[in-house]
């Protein structure tokens, strides 16, 4: 795992949220955008990966990852 910059935004998930997100990322019928967002949150909150590492893994920009984390924080 690559060390990235520290972020002030922390996300902690309940077991129910982890299960729901896990189901979402394995879904073959969910919208792609929701699946990617779920994957970002799981990588960040459960695996404690850095924004840079997640962006590299998912081939996305850092800003995109940060926006999705903020979106999750607002919704839940």
pTM of the model: 0.74
Predicted pLDDT at 65: 83
- Give the rounded percent of residues in the chain with a pLDDT score beyond 70: 82
- Distance, CA of 36 to CA of 71 (rounded, Å): 13
Label residue 1 by pLDDT band (50, 70, 90). very low
- Distance, CA of 29 to CA of 6 (rounded, Å): 34
Label residue 19 by pLDDT band (50, 70, 90). very high
């Amino acid at each position: 795992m690559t060390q990235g910059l520290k972020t002030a935004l922390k996300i902690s998930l309940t077991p129910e949220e982890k299960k729901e997100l896990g189901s979402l990322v394995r879904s073959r019928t969910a919208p792609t955008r929701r699946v990617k967002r779920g994957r970002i949150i799981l990588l960040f909150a459960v695996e404690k990966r850095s924004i840079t590492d997640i962006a590299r893994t998912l081939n996305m920009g850092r800003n995109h990852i940060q926006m999705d984390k903020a979106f999750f924080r607002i919704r839940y």
